[in-house]
Structure 1
Amino acid sequence: MQVIFGLMLAILLGALEQSIVAVVLPDIALQLNGFDNMAWVISAYLVASTVSTPIYGKLSDVLGRRSVLSFAIVLFLLASVACALAQTMPQLILARILQGLGGGGLVSVSQATIADVVPLRERGRYQGYVSGVWAVASMAGPVVGGYLAHFLSWRWIFWINLPLALLALVSVRRALRHLPAGGRRHRIDYLGALLFGAGLSGVLVFLTRLGQGQSPWRPDTLSMLVAGLAALLLFFWQERRAADPVIPLAMLRVPTVAICCITLFLCFFQLIAMSVLLPLRFQVVGGAQADAAALRLVPLTLAIPFGAFAAGRLMSWSGRYKPLQMAGSLVAPLAIVALAFVDPRAVWLCALVMVGLGFAIGLQLPSGLVATQNAVPLQHVGVATALTAFSRMLGGAVGVAVLTTVLIALLRHGGMAVTDLGGGEDVLMQMFHRVMAGGQADGDAAAVRQAAEHAFRLLFLMSAGVSLLAPFLVARLPEKVLRGSPASTASAAAAAE
């Protein structure tokens, strides 16, 4: 439990930073005079953490969990100080990139460390605790961020990381001192890591720019995509010839690993996108204030750890993971379709549907991770765990970028149809301010609300269509009894006889 406490603190840091910033973005942009670059405060962290996650997994396999996790915490701490002291928007974005590079190791290395100290059969239960910490951070982040910005300053959302990071560092250094410092001689594939980071960054920056409403045919935007794809092709060539690759491509040929990574990608595609889009819908369409919109996410974020806890208990009891993944993957798209048609002002009905969505996502998170760890040799557990964490973070980054791109296009079309907004304006911000300034009886505000509701409904239906891929994939998922379960012990005894 001492080990788990230190790891939970590290995961709390990484999870909190993904949710605490969004609610104070207008304050940051106003003070630093950077509305044009406002979205990069979130995107910079997501891109950097996504790129670095699988690299941390590889490094922790060969250098040891304790040293790599300690480095990630220290980098995260120093970057948080830089964020709090930033005087311009470019300075803040650069600091957020560094913070993301640290944050990418907090979750993946912590989960790999749990795999080192917890038997596989009990791992689902502990992964339920991880999901609980993540959900608490997702729930508390917007609320804490809003209150800190209101009563103190937006800079305190970064200063608050210092005591948490120092406590996590001390706990991790003390609790993990008995773990091996590095299992084998190693040659780190630096070229592969560089190509992977450059290629994925180029593609994610391209998607992020689309999410900010920029044209995909702009030379600088298109060049990011071309350069990113070229670097990724070179990365795959390098990994096939490297003696000790960053990501063993053979691992992706294991059906369980490939399917679980895709389903986890789809889970976070929905989760992170809904965490961003639902509060916006509650404000623009439902007329809620920022703090009330954040509180209305509580049913979604609280249902996730309950689903994860239930999945962990059921896996410990049965040794099976496929039924849990199938149930979650079937319920999630139905819940998103229901959200598309539920009036955002119907608080209790929205809460009930969000509970269903959160529980469905919670069922899939620990079952997908444990299934992946069960399908690979013990020496590759760190890389496999980082691969699942990478899939989740990539799903979140792509989900926000793609769905925001579609939302801006729909809002731009709908907003220009009912108001005098020009095509070159930031339609999302303009519509937001127009609705917030106008009362319920204001004709222009009411027209904007109606156009926005139509846009959100189409967006949610599209999101549900994407999530329908998951049950078809899970149906093809091979199920192996978890190592350490009664069934696997009996088979091993029979083989020995």
Structure 2
Amino acid sequence: MVLITSVLPSISSEFNKSHQAHWLGTAYLLATCTFTPLYGRLCNVMGRRGANQIAVFFAALGTVACGLSGNMETLIAARFLGGLGGGGIFTTATIITSDMYSLRSRGLTQGISSVFNSLGMGLGGPLGGFISDRYGWRWAFLIQLPIFAVSFFLTSVNLRYVTPGKGKSTKDVLKRIDYGGSLTLLGAVLSVLIFLSTHYSEEQPWSSPSVYVPVITAAAFAIGFVRFELCIAPEPVLAPFLLRERIPVLVGISNFLVALCNFTVMYNFPTWFQTVLLTSASEAGAHLIPNGISVSLGSLFAGWAMHRTGKYRRLNLVFGLFPFVAAILLSMMREDSPPAQLWLSIIPLGFGNAVVLQTMLIALLAHLPESSMAVGTGFGQLFRGIGQVGGVAISAALFQSVLNSELHKRIQRPNADQLITKIRHSATLVAKLPPDLQRAARDSYAVSLRAVFLMAAGSTFLAYCARLAIPDKTLDSTRPRGRSVSAAAAAEPRTASPVTNESPLDSDDEHSAEADDDMPALRTADWRPRRLSTYESSESYMDLESDVIGGSARKGRNE
């Protein structure tokens, strides 16, 4: 995903459509945002391995299509196809991790897995830029194919376990997938993206049908989405009852704003070096390496700290401000800034946001009963996905709007409009302009990107404020099973007990024996621990298709 950020100027300039470059990111994230939640159901229909390999297949197919695209429109469609798989790979990996590890250990395990994710983020930018400079941007996509082949082979050999328990038939499960919610959400988000692009990037007036029609369709799709989620879908993508719970809503707001900040910076940071400092794509991408390293360290640190202390709130209070500091430092970058500022300013962003995302996932799970774990995870991921799309689209709209204004201030000559259009459509043209025009273009890009970084700073600060109201909760306490979310949230945390290898099913917990009147009593006969390769899951009774565990997202639906 990060690879595309360092080759954006090369791609868009070849097609002479730099003003549409943000679609290469938003198309991918749009597919990830709207279709990723479906992989939870596919994991139960096809098994973990089958769902994961379907995701790998779509990601590989989209990557090949990107390398072979002949125009910007085809490339955007290929990126959307890749997003169908890319988000699924992340989701299925998270589900597999949840199968194998307890709540307290999950943060540390996710931190370790994030090292590999961060390694890809850190190396993707400079590697993509190097390949683009040396062999052309197409090879930056095509060279990834062996990695997908290795992934497919490793999951075929190693990912072999089943999740027994009371389940439903494949036909019943497929019927419960929220197709209507996914499609209406896709339509609503896509319409908003089209509006932002046509009105701000292409400067179409409000009277243009290409501006007001997307606004109308966005409102219609949004109403349809709400209708599906509240009244029709048996398994809503956005579980309505969670919107009445304080902690899930606060976590969702934080996820949205943090993702908005992350992707605003990631998609615009390399552009600053290519258009303001006039560096090569590979050198611009190399400036993302410190961020990748800091994300790895932040994820590991957060996982280790939660595993050791069983708490997460203090981590948020301290490290949650790091991204705000980083965004301010990025907005203060100048052409004559010292190398230390240019290379190290982004480090607090990656470290802080890694800590926040890790701790917010655990905080969300800690405040939900087991029966709502899968639904709650999808709830948080949905807000995060929308924030990722918004980070690229909103920052692109702001960037193009400010850039257009700044260029008109600095370039005033008979053919100014045509020249400004060329500069906006081709970022690589800046280095080829005459000295006077180049100065105007570089200053305009600098001011525009500063506005974008300040927007990221505001976003992450609002996220920090939202998280202040999220209380701590001991991660050793056994969460209630089969209880409503309201009852679970109201329950007092229990005193932490020593960590043992005893399954939660064997513990004598009076809280876990209780059940709300609106939920059926849990039947231990349906809880049959299974072996997961050399692991035995402490949550082996989880069955996402059970009427009790992970049943309908709508409380009481399966009664």
Per the normalisation by structure 1, the TM-score is: 0.86
Q: Which residue of 2 aligns with 1:225?
A: 215
Instruction: Name the SS for the 1:170 alignment partner.
Output: helix
- 1:452 to 1:163, Cα distance in 2 relative to 1, 3 A: closer
- 1:334 to 1:235, Cα distance in 2 relative to 1, 3 A: same
- How far 1:353 sits from its partner (Å)? 2.5
- 1:488 to 1:203, Cα distance in 2 relative to 1, 3 A: farther
- 1:328 to 1:204, Cα distance in 2 relative to 1, 3 A: farther
How many positions carry a matched residue from both structures? 478
- How far 1:61 sits from its partner (Å)? 5.3
Q: Percent identity?
A: 27
Instruction: Name the SS for the 1:422 alignment partner.
Output: helix
Taking the TM superposition and a 5 Å limit, the aligned residue runs for 1:342-491 are 342-344=333-335, 345-420=337-412, 421-422=416-417, 425-426=420-421, 429=424, 432-433=427-428, 435-437=430-432, 442-483=435-476, 487-489=495-497
Code of the residue aligned with 2:261 in structure 1: it is Q
Task: Kindly indicate whether the alpha-carbon contact (under 8 Å) linking 1:411 and 1:428 is maintained by their aligned counterparts in 2.
Answer: no
Taking the TM superposition and a 5 Å limit, the aligned residue runs for 1:127-146 are 127-146=110-129
Instruction: Name the SS for the 2:345 alignment partner.
Output: helix
User: 1:451-489: per-residue Cα shift (whole Å, max 9, x none)?
Assistant: 433333333233322222122211111332224699443
Q: Which residue of 1 aligns with 2:549?
A: none
Over the aligned positions, Cα root-mean-square deviation in angstroms equals 3.0
1:184 aligns with 2:175: no
Task: Kindly indicate whether the alpha-carbon contact (under 8 Å) linking 2:17 and 2:425 is maintained by their aligned counterparts in 1.
Answer: no
Taking the TM superposition and a 5 Å limit, the aligned residue runs for 1:223-372 are 223-241=213-231, 242-344=233-335, 345-372=337-364
- How far 1:157 sits from its partner (Å)? 2.4
Task: Kindly indicate whether the alpha-carbon contact (under 8 Å) linking 2:9 and 2:271 is maintained by their aligned counterparts in 1.
Answer: no
2:186 aligns with one of 190, 194, 197: 197
The worse-fitting range, judged by mean Cα deviation, of 447-456 and 41-50 is 447-456
Task: Kindly indicate whether the alpha-carbon contact (under 8 Å) linking 2:302 and 2:315 is maintained by their aligned counterparts in 1.
Answer: yes
The worse-fitting range, judged by mean Cα deviation, of 130-139 and 206-215 is 206-215
- CA distance in 2 between counterparts of 1:183 and 1:228 reads 40
1:120 aligns with 2:128: no
1:173 aligns with one of 149, 156, 159: 156
User: 1:48-106: per-residue Cα shift (whole Å, max 9, x none)?
Assistant: 22221223234435654332222111222223233333333333322222111122211
- 1:432 to 1:468, Cα distance in 2 relative to 1, 3 A: same
1:91 aligns with 2:74: yes
- CA distance in 2 between counterparts of 1:29 and 1:350 reads 25
- CA distance in 2 between counterparts of 1:251 and 1:415 reads 46
The worse-fitting range, judged by mean Cα deviation, of 30-39 and 460-469 is 30-39
- 1:431 to 1:41, Cα distance in 2 relative to 1, 3 A: closer
- CA distance in 1 between counterparts of 2:164 and 2:150 reads 21
Code of the residue aligned with 1:405 in structure 2: it is A
- How far 1:125 sits from its partner (Å)? 1.1
- CA distance in 2 between counterparts of 1:318 and 1:216 reads 56
Per the normalisation by structure 2, the TM-score is: 0.77
Gaps (5+ residues) in structure 2?
Answer: 479-493, 500-506, 512-559
The worse-fitting range, judged by mean Cα deviation, of 114-123 and 446-455 is 446-455
User: 1:195-241: per-residue Cα shift (whole Å, max 9, x none)?
Assistant: 23333332334335456344362312332232133122222222222
The worse-fitting range, judged by mean Cα deviation, of 23-32 and 475-484 is 23-32
Gaps (5+ residues) in structure 1?
Answer: 1-17
- How far 1:364 sits from its partner (Å)? 0.6
Q: Report which of the two structures shows the higher radius of gyration computed on alpha carbons.
A: 2
